[in-house]
A and B are shown apart, each in its own frame.
Chain A
Amino acid sequence: MNILEINNLTVRFGGLTAVNAVNLSLPPHQITSLIGPNGAGKTTVFNAITGIHEPVAGRIVFNGAEARRPFRSTTAIALTFIAIIAGVSLALAANIQSLWETAVTAHYQYRQAFPWRDVCASVVAYFADNPVARFVWPFLVGALLGGGAAFVVWQRSRRAPEIAARAGVARTFQNIRLFNQMTALDNVLLGMDRQLRSRFWHDALRLPLFWRERREAAQRAMDGLRFIGLAKEAHQLAENLSYGHQRRLEIARALAMDPQLLLLDEPAAGMNPAETRALMELIRKIREHGVTILLIEHDMRVVMGISERIAVLDHGEKIAEGTPKEVCYDARVIEAYLGKSHEDVPTT
């Protein structure tokens, strides 16, 4: 089964169609590159996959399941529950002063025991007295608003970035987005966050699980840094690292998520040839660990050097797909990069 299937993906921003009916399939353990001139829509595809942009059409299927929160029976139950609670709350709130009077003021006598059972009876009686105005209307309005709000909020959160992360997709960004004022180690620990088990109470009360997990997590994070070659910089602030190290740290953070699919957005940007070679080695090493890789790159050495397949985008549409050799001789690709008037075919 393909790790990632993108069918007919279309993303629009206002009047601009950034991605138009793109199809892409990624078999597992393969390195695929996504190339194209600037503005072709490559990063937009990444953003759609990771839930940052909502597509207007098309499906993104990850390991056979669509990368959005499904509408299950539990969702319907939760929404109904919220609606009921909201309705009851509004019914109580709308009548609160009268309720207080019938329940508390009427029954309470100074320094005497409070007749709790009678109170319940009088509350019920209060509502039974004029059920439509006092209960039914506020309940309906509350249920509608509460349920509606919950539904709207749920709907908007269906394709949040967390969903993609949970499904096993990790990414780096075109302009490095590290947590700059945290150490390299902390950045990697944040990548691992989803796998940590300590909850609020463990942290607040410093329960044993907190201490145990802190040690284990730090060790695993150091392993991750060692894998990427940044073990010495573990306690440096991310913003103080060199540019090349920062790019590697971003990859380390993404790997800490234990992803099945890694999206790399121009990882070789700004690197010299030696660094580029090291990066290509790293990407191969990552693939050997069983991670599928989708790569956006402009540096043709990297693209041609490590890709097994290449897809080419131009103006939001996929204009070619195939092995590196096939793609670099494709007439449309040449035209997209160089324009119509050139006759020469570039060889890498």
Chain B
Amino acid sequence: MDRAQHAIERPLLREPDSVSRPTPLSPALVYIGTLLQRSAAIFVVALIWEIAPRLGLVEPAFLPPLSEVLTTGWELIQNGQLMSHLAASLQRSLFGFSMAILFAVPMGLAIGSSRRVEGFLFPLFEALRNTPALALLPVFILILGIGESSKNALVIYACSWPILLNTISGVRGVDPLLIKSARTMGVTRLDMLRKVVLPAALPTVFTGIRLAGANSLLALVAAEMVGATAGLGYLIQYSQYNFKIPHMYVGILAITVVGLVFARVLQWIERRFTAWKAD
């Protein structure tokens, strides 16, 4: 579950301690060294991807060599196709993601700060959360049609749960002594939420936001595979139907890069917001 998950997740996501070596290397060299070290496995896989189809170990029609995929990617960048798909996808995922934050954080604060409301709603949320968003895609399409609204709705739905549940659990986990201390200083209810509960819950809220970031891409690709005319999910699906296999891989790689960048940006924002935390 989320609570356990973020407990394990944190140390894994943290950067390894900066490399300390006896020989005084310039920081740039050290950085490049670390980069090489950390991307070694990626290089190996890339190399296998390049060589295996060429040696006939796998069917090149199904898995074209990486260089061919990258060449196709470059073409798609140059003729603007990749950008338009990328833009469509980013627009949808960022919109859904931000809407989910705007909706789920205040909602979580409100629910989490009332024990009664929380006790009443939490079981329902537990059940709903375990209904995979993708299972609801047909329902969204049925109600909202095949256009943008059903895609946005799906992304919002998929992003909201982790944010909402983590915000609630973050609010519940606020040190009661801090609340007590703020109360003795006569803060208003709103200030209590704004100045004490929200900042105290923020690290947990961010765990939810990070999970939501991953969810947003998952929901997005799935939504775009069904009745879209643009977007990376559409590119992947459409290319496969038309047997433009390198195109398909370009789409897959592009979504991976988007996911990585997304995760990185979120991590950066999280660190800026929770800089006060002890390591």
A is bound by B: no
Question: Which B residues fall within an 8 A CB radius of A?
Answer: none
Q: Which residues of A contact B (CB under 8 A)?
A: none
